[in-house]
Amino acid sequence: MSIPKNPGLLEEGEEEESYGMVESMDPELYRATTEGDILEFIKAMEHGTLDRHYQSSAGCVQLGPQKNTVLHIATSCGHYEIVKLLCKGLAILCDSLLVPLLINCDLREGALELENEERNTALHEALGHRHQKVARILIDRNRSAWYSVNKEGKSVLYLAAEAVFVGLVKLLMENPAGICKVLKHQTPLGFLEGVKFLLSNFCAAAYQRDIYGLFPIHTASSEGHVDIIQGMLQHCPDSRELLTLQGQNIFHVAAKSGNGKAVSSMLKIAELEKLLNEKDDEGNMPLHVATICGHPRIVRALIWDERVDLELVNKGIISEGIPSIYKYAEDITNARNT
């Protein structure tokens, strides 16, 4: 039986294996940030060391073991003055050596969007720890990062609503992308609950168009988030009547995107029946849109639904019966594949 080697001791000629080294922050900088000592923080930022362990002397991009920057730490601890210093007062409060370092690391843009191991930005940390004043500074500095979603499936907008920071929610909702930007992401665990919570407290979010003229319910139908559509109908029942700039309802949008699962699921929602035969500004029903866009599966689902009126006429296509419509859709699909 072989005798196990004594752990921690190397035999002659052996080289120590490296199992990787995590990043760490300058200890003085870390201590000053966690304690909220503004003077020591400035001093540590100015005299940050650059060696093999502290990979950057630009303190704003030094990372701790959990990939937290000083901005993450300061926001989670609620140290308003340090956050304010990082976001607003550097040119006045810091010397000429520190300013170029912070400019080089692109604090005004990239550092505000850096994520830690929990995929939290500094703004996530501020809101998660209920530091409203700190969160307001970060929002004012960067309005574009509010929709990022962390590992828990919580966006910044959701966290602001959860904390009942009404003013911050209104500020975030002024973003042209609106809630639709959130719906563009894949739905992570807990995201549905986040949307429901947001709508139950701030129903106005369901009635704001994005830059493409879509309301959140349209984006949900395009992305196939039927559970979110149902949540919207529960909290905002008249949102089913919302139309795109082209006069299209959620069936039109789903048919255009080719999302067959969404169409099939929406057909089972009784309160959406009225939308099946509505025409858009071009005179097209959802069936016509699916036919024109060449989505045979959606055409099949619609033409076999007895509630769809196959006798309705649009400006260019006459629904004379199941075979002609379905063949037209297949012809378009085959033509595109050749």
Asked whether residue 186 is assigned to any structural domain, the reply reads no
113: in domain: yes
Residue 144 is predicted with a pLDDT of 64
Per the prediction, the chain carries an average pLDDT of: 73
User: What is the residue range of 117's domain?
Assistant: 21-129
Determine the pLDDT at residue 151: 84
Q: What is the CATH number of the domain that holds 88?
A: 1.25.40.20
| β-pair partners for 313 | 318
**Paired strand residues for 155:** 149
Distance CA 149, CA 147 (A): 6
pLDDT digits (tens, 9 = 90+) for 41-60: 777 776 654 333 444 434 44
For residue 101, is it within any domain? yes
Query: Does residue 99 contact residue 107 with C-beta atoms inside 8 Å?
Result: no
| pLDDT at site 102 | 42
| 199 occurs within a structural domain | no
> In total, how many domains does the chain have?
1
**What pLDDT score was predicted for residue 133?**
85
pLDDT (0 to 100) of residue 269: 95
Ramachandran area for residue 190 (φ above 0: left; ψ -120 to 50: alpha; else beta): left
Residue 104 · residue 116 · CB < 8 Å: no
pLDDT recorded at residue 240: 95
Residue 83 lies in a domain: yes
Question: Has residue 46 been placed in a domain?
Answer: yes
Per run of 10 residues, the mean pLDDT along the chain (length 338 residues) is 50 52 71 82 65 42 65 81 70 42 46 78 87 85 69 80 79 61 46 66 77 86 88 90 97 96 94 95 93 91 89 57 54 54
The per-residue pLDDT for 13 is 54
Q: Report pTM.
A: 0.54
Cα 258 from chain centre: 23
Give how far Cα 301 sits from Cα of 72, 171, 181, Å: 50, 42, 29
What whole-number percentage of the chain has pLDDT above 70?
61
Give the long-range contacts of residues 111-115, CB within 8 A, separation 24 or more: 111/60, 111/61, 111/69, 111/71, 112/71, 112/87, 112/138, 112/141, 112/142, 112/145, 113/142, 113/145, 113/148, 114/61, 114/67, 114/69, 114/71, 114/72, 115/67, 115/148, 115/150
